[in-house]
Structure 1
Amino acid sequence: MRTSALLRRVTSGVRWYVRELTDESAYDRYVAHIRKGHPEAEVPTRREFERMRTDRQETDPRQGFRCC
């Protein structure tokens, strides 16, 4: 394998790992779920999604405490 191809593969793997670790990919998973299960539904913007997610976490007593 060439060095440039190996570097691209490693970079891609690190990017995937960081996105999963920080839950940055949650919006992408949500959009895929909406489009697959509810194709007629309007997909919220990323900002709307993050607001819904934050509101749900703050109102759900099972989420525990917030550190910040």
Structure 2
Amino acid sequence: MAMSSQNLRERWQTLTKCVCDGARLMVGQGDYEAYASHIRKTHPDQAPMTELEFFRNRENARFGVGNRNGFRCC
């Protein structure tokens, strides 16, 4: 059973997205598209953060900025 090049390309793109998403989660950086989709679906009255705001929010949470309990090496 031979696969078409389109099918292989789609599978490769899915695999690389999963690997990249997993790597982001390992370093404490969530998936902005999943976040934005969730906000639009469950909180239609709220505007989602911009991608930059989301990145900074996740970084601040990771490193404990603003009295949050985040990872601290020292």
Q: TM-score, normalised by structure 1?
A: 0.69
The structure where helix makes up a greater share of residues is 1
Whether the 8 Å CA contact 1:27–1:46 is kept in 2: the answer is yes
Please give the TM-score of this superposition, normalised by the length of structure 2. Answer: 0.65
Moved over 3 A (4+): none
Aligned residue pairs, count: 65
When residues 41 and 57 of structure 1 are mapped into structure 2, their CA distance, relative to the original with a 3 A threshold, is same
Q: Please point out which of 56, 62, 68 is paired with 2:61.
A: 56
Which amino acid is 1:7 matched to? L
Matches within 5 A, 1:14-25: 14-23=15-24
Identity over aligned pairs, percent:
26
| Matching residue of 1:8 | 9
Question: CA 1:49/1:41 → structure 2, altered by over 3 Å: closer, same or farther?
Answer: same
Q: Which residue of 2 aligns with 1:40?
A: 45
Deviates more, 1:26-35 or 1:4-13: 4-13
Tell me, which stretches of 5 or more residues in structure 2 are unaligned? none
